[in-house]
């Protein structure tokens, strides 16, 4: 996923975190805020040290999340910024389980259509 799809600045991250709606499942939390006039959606991903002390495990979880979003990019509308925050239970997920959880989370947040 290209860097233009990511929320990197602290103030943008905080704007979505404090101003957005949130939903959660067992493994991830989603914060979202509508943002009109964008060419594509933007996402911020957070995996804290409480989830995994080792950086390689945190980076693996982020890679799984980014790949899941890359595969779902055609279903995600352009006018949305959202954050995905990993919980400790996400540490043991495989790639396919991560994609299923992210899909479930996006359906809970009504970002993607539930019929798909």
Q: Is the pLDDT of residue 9 over 90?
A: no
Residue 94: the pLDDT is 95
Architecture, CATH, for domain 3-108: 2-Layer Sandwich (3.30)
Which pairs count as long-range contacts for 65-68, CB under 8 Å and 24+ apart, including other chains? 65/28, 65/98, 65/102, 66/1, 67/95, 67/99, 68/95, 68/98, 68/99, 68/102, 68/103
For residues 58 and 45, is the Cβ–Cβ distance under 8 A? no
Q: pLDDT digits over 50-80, tens only?
A: 999 999 999 999 999 999 999 999 999 989 9
Domain ranges of the chain: 3-108
Give the pLDDT band (50/70/90) at residue 13.
confident
């Amino acid at each position: 996923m290209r860097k233009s799809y990511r929320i990197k600045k602290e103030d943008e991250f905080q704007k979505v975190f404090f101003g957005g709606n949130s939903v959660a499942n067992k493994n991830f939390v989603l914060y979202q805020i509508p943002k009109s006039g964008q060419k594509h959606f933007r996402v911020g991903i957070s995996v804290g040290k409480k989830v995994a002390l080792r950086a390689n495990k945190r980076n693996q979880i982020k890679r799984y999340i980014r790949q899941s979003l890359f595969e779902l990019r055609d279903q995600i509308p352009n006018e949305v910024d959202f954050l995905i925050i990993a919980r400790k239970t996400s540490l043991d997920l495989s790639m396919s389980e991560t994609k299923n959880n992210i899909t479930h989370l996006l359906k809970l947040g009504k970002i993607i259509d539930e019929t798909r």
